[in-house]
Amino acid sequence: MSNVIELKNVDKSYTNSGFLKKTTCAHILKNISLQVEKGTTLGLVGESGSGKTTTTRMILRQEKPTNGELFYEGKNVEELTKEVEEEYRNNVQVVFQNPYSSLNPKMRVGEIIAEPLVITGKYNKEEIKKRVRSIMEKVGLAQDYVERFPSEFSGGQRQRIAIARALIQNPQLVILDEPVSALDVSVRGQIMNLLKRVQEKNKTTYIFISHDIATVGFLSDTIAVMYFGTIVEYGKTEDILENLRHPYTEMLISSDSVRNLSEAEEESGEIPSHYDEPKGCPFAGRCKYATDECRNVTPQLKDIGDGHKVACHNAESITLKSVVKINRRKPEYQI
Ligand SMILES: Nc1ncnc2c1ncn2[C@@H]1O[C@H](COP(=O)(O)OP(=O)(O)OP(=O)(O)O)[C@@H](O)[C@H]1O
Ligand SMILES: [Mg+2]
């Protein structure tokens, strides 16, 4: 199988220089390497601030990595010809968390969905109309909505509009950045099932981002668990859910996990600051298994077998709770 996207050793730092303040540097992404095979889903999971959106900004080429490389279908994106560059931009789309702010309120639904096609300048009016009708049907939007404005719709319907817009060019890769987090629980399942059906039909590749490992588990073939700008555990979904080896993954998965973040932080120490990085493992301050080695030596991401990678000194000596409440084989998403 071939990779649609690959990141190799990507670092991202931001330098903030102030007039009176001294210049500070925040190292936000550290040595991120990941691959997404065609037609599969990579789940990116981690708490707020772990670097999920920053990683996707590199893939969307909104920003350049400070170090490292990005490959599209095996080609280094820095070396793409103009034609492939354009193909890349059309082939990599994104759906954001908040369907209220991501749709232009002054445009009609039909125009919003059609816009990416119109921009290419390659299609005539009839063809555009035909494709808009077809994609609206696929995502479950009634045809007579084309003339309406986003304000007339519910959150779930707006997210369907955003998904239709992202899919209209039949892209290779869709980045779904918390696509259901802002929606009512009752609507989440509908959108998750819609995304799954679309993928099965079109063989679309997804990068699916969420705080919630249960939601990520439903769609993902592989999962990368991010903490403080690094990947701390990476592998096939079954490995991450059923045979997890990193204490942070255990924390995310455990029943009283990070659903209530403020409570969890109080219980288990603080997330370190990017401006004052701790020595050793960044999770050590919150980890109940931490030893002196953890507090002094930064663990590297190591393959512990069959592509399952873990960055933990104690990965092979501690026993962690794998709580699998998620049955991925169920055809429908259930809360
Ligand atoms: N331009 C910037 N300058 C300095 N720091 C930044 C900049 N952009 C992002 N960050 C920091 O990078 C870290 C990662 O942010 P990012 O948005 O990638 O997190 P996330 O995992 O997507 O979080 P969330 O779940 O809240 O969306 C945060 O600590 C954020 O404050
Ligand atoms: Mg984010």
> Average pLDDT, whole number, for the chain?
90
- Identify the residue whose C-alpha is closest to ligand 1 atom 1: 14
CA distances from 36 to 16, 45, 172, 259 (A): 32, 15, 11, 27
- Identify the residue whose C-alpha is closest to ligand 1 atom 25: 48
Find the 19 Cα to ligand 1 centroid distance in Å: 23
Q: In the predicted model, what is the mean pLDDT of residues 54-65?
A: 96
The tokens for 66 are: 């400070």
- Identify the residue whose C-alpha is closest to ligand 1 atom 17: 53
109 close to 147: Cβ distance less than 8 angstroms: yes
Query: Comparing 144 with 332, which gets the higher pLDDT?
Result: 144
- Give the chain's count of helices (H) and strands (E): 11, 12
Where does residue 51 fall: left (phi above 0), alpha (psi -120 to 50 degrees), or beta otherwise? Answer: left
Q: Which atom of ligand 1 is nearest to the CA of 51?
A: 18
The yes-or-no verdict on residue 88 having pLDDT over 50 is yes
The yes-or-no verdict on residue 323 having pLDDT over 90 is no
Q: Which atom of ligand 1 is nearest to the CA of 211?
A: 25
The CA distance from 60 to 74, in Å, is 16
- Identify the residue whose C-alpha is closest to ligand 1 atom 9: 54
The tokens for 119 are: 């921009």
Q: In the predicted model, what is the mean pLDDT of residues 239-267?
A: 71
How much is the pTM?
0.91
Comparing CA positions, the residue from 292, 299, 283, 272 lying closest to residue 250 is: 283
Reported as a pLDDT band with limits 50, 70 and 90, residue 265 is very low
Q: In 3-state terms, what secondary structure has residue 92?
A: strand
The answer to whether the CB of 285 is under 6 A from ligand 1 is no
Find the 54 Cα to ligand 1 centroid distance in Å: 6
Q: In the predicted model, what is the mean pLDDT of residues 66-88?
A: 94
Which DSSP string corresponds to 226-261?
A: EETTEEEEEEEHHHHHHS---HHHHHHHSTTSTTSH
Of all residues in the chain, what percent carry a pLDDT higher than 70? 92
Distance of CA 148 to the CA centre of its chain: 30
The yes-or-no verdict on residue 106 having pLDDT over 60 is yes
Determine the topology of domain 3-310 in CATH.
Rossmann fold (3.40.50)
- Quick one: pLDDT at residue 8? 98
The answer to whether the CB of 272 is under 6 A from ligand 1 is no
The answer to whether the CB of 172 is under 6 A from ligand 1 is no
- Identify the residue whose C-alpha is closest to ligand 1 atom 2: 14
The yes-or-no verdict on residue 263 having pLDDT over 50 is no
137 close to 123: Cβ distance less than 8 angstroms: no
The answer to whether the CB of 275 is under 6 A from ligand 1 is no
Find the 53 Cα to ligand 1 centroid distance in Å: 7
The answer to whether the CB of 101 is under 6 A from ligand 1 is no
* pLDDT digit string, tens, across residues 36-53: 999 999 999 999 999 999
* pLDDT digit string, tens, across residues 198-220: 999 999 999 999 988 888 999 99
Residue type, 121: G
- Quick one: pLDDT at residue 272? 84
Q: Which atom of ligand 1 is nearest to the CA of 50?
A: 21
Task: Tell me which of 54, 96, 208, 262 to substitute to probe ligand 1's pocket, judged by most ligand atoms within 8 Å of the beta carbon.
Answer: 54
Reported as a pLDDT band with limits 50, 70 and 90, residue 131 is very high
Find the 49 Cα to ligand 1 centroid distance in Å: 5
Find the 49 Cα to ligand 2 centroid distance in Å: 7
Q: Where are the domains of the chain?
A: 3-310
The yes-or-no verdict on residue 187 having pLDDT over 70 is yes
The CA distance from 95 to 176, in Å, is 5
**Ion ligand 2: residues, CB < 5 A:** 52-53
Q: In the predicted model, what is the mean pLDDT of residues 241-246?
A: 92
- Quick one: pLDDT at residue 312? 98
Give the pairing of strands 230-236 and 309-310.
antiparallel
- Quick one: pLDDT at residue 200? 93
Of all residues in the chain, what percent carry a pLDDT higher than 90? 73
Reported as a pLDDT band with limits 50, 70 and 90, residue 185 is confident
Return the residue matching tokens 């490995």.
Answer: 239
The tokens for 296 are: 């002094």
The answer to whether the CB of 51 is under 6 A from ligand 1 is yes
- Identify the residue whose C-alpha is closest to ligand 1 atom 10: 28
Reported as a pLDDT band with limits 50, 70 and 90, residue 326 is low
Reported as a pLDDT band with limits 50, 70 and 90, residue 260 is very low
For the CA of 52, the nearest ligand: 1
